[in-house]
Amino acid sequence: MNILIAVIDYGVGNLRSVEKAFSFIGCDACVTSDPNTVLSADAVVLPGVGAFADAMDSLEKAGMVDVVKETISKGKPFLGICLGMQLLFDYSEEGGSEVKGLGIFKGGIKQFSHDMGLKVPHMGWNSIEYNKQSPLFKNLPDKPFVYFVHSFYLDADDKNIVAAGTNYGIDFDSAIGVGKVFATQFHPEKSGDVGLTILRNFANII
């Protein structure tokens, strides 16, 4: 595919594995910290692992906060992965106080209870259940298994934007889709054939 996918490098996340997954399916993906490269790309991916507050600080220092907002406001295909999804929302409870996110969508990032009898972080394979039709999930079976690593989960205010949910002690929002903006709590790049199908679907949207 003759398209360029910019993977935003702001010092947080497993960027190379995302880049390699896109290369594997025949897409030209570049890891970049240059705002102009991101703004001129055909699509943008915001990955991320680690602490929410540190990630927001890193995004700001990298000059990427306005870049992400502009990318989304212009309707360019966008994919947030794991922490990259969480950052799109109003706040996170991580760190014991509400840390502000990008505020592109309404909702909060909340912590799994350590009293629910399950290991936290939620790490490993779990199924997702579709809330609505999404081009991101085209050609996938019902309730496919994908790979998660997280201690905090999304609770979106507007459930109409939620594309899929997952149960891990509680039901939580594990994927969103609005226009050409998509985001997943799970890692497509680590989710085997299901994940590669999701990335191909994203590429086809571009």
Q: Which residue, chain included where needed, has tokens 């936290």? A: 120
Task: Tell me whether residue 70 is one of the annotated catalytic residues.
Answer: no
For residue 32, count other CB atoms closer than 10 A to its CB. Answer: 17
Catalytic annotation, pick one of 82, 94, 122, 150: 82
Q: Give Cα separations from 10 to 37, 127, 168, 203 (angstroms).
A: 14, 30, 30, 22
CA-to-CA distance for 65 and 76, rounded, in angstroms? Answer: 15
Of the candidates 33, 57, 60, the residue with the CA atom closest to the CA atom of residue 44: 33
Annotated catalytic residue: which of 19, 27, 94, 189?
Answer: 189
Instruction: Specify whether 30 is catalytic.
Output: no
Instruction: Give the Cα-Cα-Cα angle 108, 104, 123 (nearest 5 degrees).
Output: 45
Closest alpha carbon to 203 in 113, 79, 104, 80: 79
19: annotated active-site residue = no
Tokens of 129: 């259940």
Instruction: Give how far the C-alpha of residue 132 lies from the chain's centroid of Cα atoms, to the nearest Å.
Output: 17
Q: Which of 27, 94, 150, 187 is catalytic?
A: 187
CA separation for the pair 198, 181 (Å, rounded): 14
Annotated catalytic residues are 82, 187, 189
